[in-house]
Every structure is written in C-alpha cells, then in structure tokens.
Amino acid sequence: MTKYTATQIVIINEIICLIIYLIYEIKHHFNYFCKPNYNTLNAQNILVLFIGLVIFNFLFTTVLEYLNDKNWKDDIPEDLKDFYDSEKYLKAKNYKIDRGKLSSLSSSISFVFTLAMLYFFGFGLLSDLANSFSDSIILQSSIFFMILYLFNFIIGIPFSYYSTFVIEEKYGFNKTDIKTFITDKIKGLIMTSLFIIGLTSLAVFVIQYFPNGFWIWLWIGLSLLMILLNMFYADLIVPIFNKLTPLDDGDLRYKIENYSKKVGYSLKNIFVIDGSKRSSKANAFFSGLGPRKTIALYDTLIEKYTDEELVSVLAHEVGHYKKKHILFSMILTIIQLGVMCYLFELCMSFNMIANSLGSSNMNFHIGIIAFSFLYSPVGLIIGILMNMLSRKNEFEADEYAKSTYDGDSLSLALKKLSVDSLSNIYPHPLYVFVHYSHPPLIQRLSKLK
C-alpha cells in the first residue's frame, strides 16, 4: 500500500475542492454569458459534462503516469542481467523520469488551455472569427482548424526542441542537427496543413451534398483513405522525411528472401532507411497490403543486430500477416470509423451542443470539437479493447517466429531493442492494461522460452 505524506493529502484535497468549486462556478458564469435555459438537458449541463470529461481524462492520465513511475524496481531481472550494468539501468530510470516531466508539463498546459477554451467559450468565439472571413463553409471550417493547428504547432516547438536537443541528447540518442529539425518542422507543417484542408473540404462537401445520412458517405470516404494510406505509406509518405535504398545483395538479403520463400510470404521491396539521420534508436517497419508488401529496416538496426536477429524480427511480422492480424485489425478499425461517423452525425443534429461551446449554430468544425469531447470515454474503452487484442496478437506472432524460425534469436533481438532504447522493464500492470499495444518484455521473453 502506498503511503501518502501530509502534503500529498493536502494537495489532493485542494484539487478535489477546486474541481467542485469550478463546476458550481460554471452555473453562474453560464448565466452571465448566455441566456439562461431551464430545461434539464440544456447547453449549460452539456458544458459541465464537457468540463467533467476533460478533468476526468487529465486525472486518469496523471494517475496512471504516477503509478507507472512508482513501479520501477531496483533489481535487474535475471533475463536481462547480461545486458544491463547498474549504471545503465539507472540511466534508463532517469531517462523515463526526464521524459515524464516534459510530457506532464505539456499535458498540464493543454489541460489548462482546453478548460479555458470551454469556460470562456473560446471555441464559439474562434468559430465566429473564422466565419467572418468568408461565406464558404469549406473555408470557414478550414480556417478554424488551421488556427487551432498553428497555435498548437507553435506551442509545441519548444517542447519538441527540448525533447530532441536536451533529453535525447543527454542520453546519447540524438543525431538530429538543427537543419534537419527545422526542415522536418516545415515539411510536417505543410503536410498536415494539406491534410487538414483536404479532409475538411471533402467532409464539408459530403455533408452539404447529403444533409441526411451523410455518415455513410463519410465512413466510406474515410475508410478508403485509410486503406490507400496503408498501401502507399512507404511509397508516398516515408520518402518525404527519409531516404529509402534497396538492401544490397548480400547475406542478409539472401537470408530474408530465403525465409520469405520458405513460409510463402510475397515481399515486394526490402529497403534500408536512414534512421541514423535523426536518432541512434533502432527500428523497422512493415507496410503495404496484398502484393505491395514492403519491409524497411533502419540502418541503425542493421548496424547493431545479427542477421539471425533481423530475420527473427521479420518472422514475427510475417506472423502478423499469416495469422490475419493485419486484415482483422483493419476491419475492426473500419467498423470503429463507422460508429464514429454515425455518432458524429447524431452529435451534429443537436444545436444545443453548439450552444454549450458558445456558438449560436451547429456547423462542421464546432461539431468536430464537441464530438471529440463526447467520444473520449468511448474512445478510451475501445482503445483498451484494441490494445488487449493487440497484445494477444503479439504473443501469437512471437509464437509464429519461434515455430518457423528461431525463438532464441527473437528473444535476443527483443532484449537488445529494449535495452538500447532504455525502455521501461517494469511498467505498472494498470498502465499496460490501458496503454500497451505490446506485452511487456519480461512476459514476451518468458513465453518464448
């Protein structure tokens, strides 16, 4: 049982009082800004619900992070004794703490900002501002989202600078120079802007064209987009940020092709990606569907791992494909998209929801903001279920790699990957339950034995 100090109890008490005070305060505040409304389901109560959800999300995340930080143990697990000395183990712990501090600062700022936007009807005011620029609904919504995005982008720059050049640098991961950092930011800015404007235009167009039952068309459009992005990710998106070169005709290529042939896996491309341009952390990704399957290995991975370890990682990925995990999770995502689109149309039909955000009329952008608050608890539950499924799939893919290739090489690769990236080897079970798409290392190793 955790013991709380007197100061901690006082702080917790203060937070609870503040929340209760805030909820009562909203009642007065709302009457001051808007015409009072005496129905039970009214804009004022919806605003209280929004604020309650934002507070819940923040507290939930904070408590989980706190539990996870407290869960570090001082002893190194038997399996990893050969990979860690006590100095490196301490380094992993400090790395986690440093990153945790930065992320809690960032989420606290966004928490306060979101509360202020709700309390002072910031979304309604911003919507009025965006609507004053043009009569076109497409432009209005695009301007609204671009203002929010740009604001977020600018606030995020010091955080991402600190993360890359202070924290990652301190632990020896950073390989990014300031030039790459700036060009990455500019490319990201352009791509995201195009994405926001493109998606907003399409969605608003669909809603105008099919005022009733637009959710089906929105669903079809979003599903197609997701499938296309999945198919062409390696061909279209990755080359914007990285250089992909085909893997040389050497031992490794021979071993990969040999294994693929043996298990009947059609591979279109094997690439090496210049991950070392940004970080010393090793990685690999697999993308594409059907005959377009691509594997990209980070140069940092090839450098540090043996051919057998690399093929065992590939065997794990092939396992996902052979066990139909990829197909199945795509189908689940499409179903989830359908539910979201349907609920979104439902949300758009209540003008009262727009009033709660300070906008006199419902429109696409206000609808999206309101929906993002209302959907958050549903999203949390669906996320937990998807993570449970994903963790089960990871064990199955490990098992596939063990039976078709070599479990020991995979164990070695997993240990090295975990130690090299200084990842947390004692995550809190509740944190794993909510956030982890992969089982913790220790569990995977014991199943592979």
Q: Least Å distance between CB 11 and Zn ion?
A: 40
How far is 319 from 402, CA to CA, in rounded Å? 10
Residue 263 CB contacts under 8 Å (≥ 6 apart), including other chains: 315, 318, 322, 404
Q: CB 324: neighbour CB atoms within 10 A?
A: 11
State which residue, 374 or 401, has the beta carbon closest to Zn ion.
401
Q: Which of 220, 229, 225, 223 is nearest to 288 (CA)?
A: 229
Q: Considering the complex, what minimum distance in angstroms separates the CB of residue 228 from Zn ion?
A: 23
Site size for Zn ion, by CB under 5 A? Answer: 2
Considering the complex, state which of residue 193 and residue 443 has its C-beta at the smaller distance from Zn ion. 443
Residue 317: what residue type?
Answer: E
Q: Are 131 and 366 in contact (CB under 8 A)?
A: no
Binders of Zn ion in range 147-166 (CB under 5 A): none
Q: Residues 18-57: x/- map of binding to Zn ion (CB under 5 A)?
A: ----------------------------------------
Distances (CA, A) of 104 to 8, 110, 169, 337, 433: 17, 10, 20, 30, 20
- CB-nearer residue toward Zn ion: 367 or 439: 439
Q: Output the smallest distance, CB 329 to Zn ion, in A.
A: 11
Cα dihedral 49→51→56→58 (10° resolution): 160
Q: How far is the CB of 393 from Zn ion (least distance, A)?
A: 7
Query: Least distance in Å: CB of 210 to Zn ion?
Result: 39
**Nearer to Zn ion (CB atom), residue 219 or residue 298:** 298
Neighbours of 160 (CB within 10 A): 16
Q: Are 325 and 393 in contact (CB under 8 A)?
A: yes
Name which of residues 347 to 406 contact Zn ion (CB under 5 A): 394, 397
Q: How far is the CB of 438 from Zn ion (least distance, A)?
A: 7
Based on CB atoms, which residue is closest to Zn ion, 185 or 323?
323
Residue 222 or 432 having the CB closest to Zn ion: 432
> Contact residues for Zn ion (CB under 5 A)?
394, 397
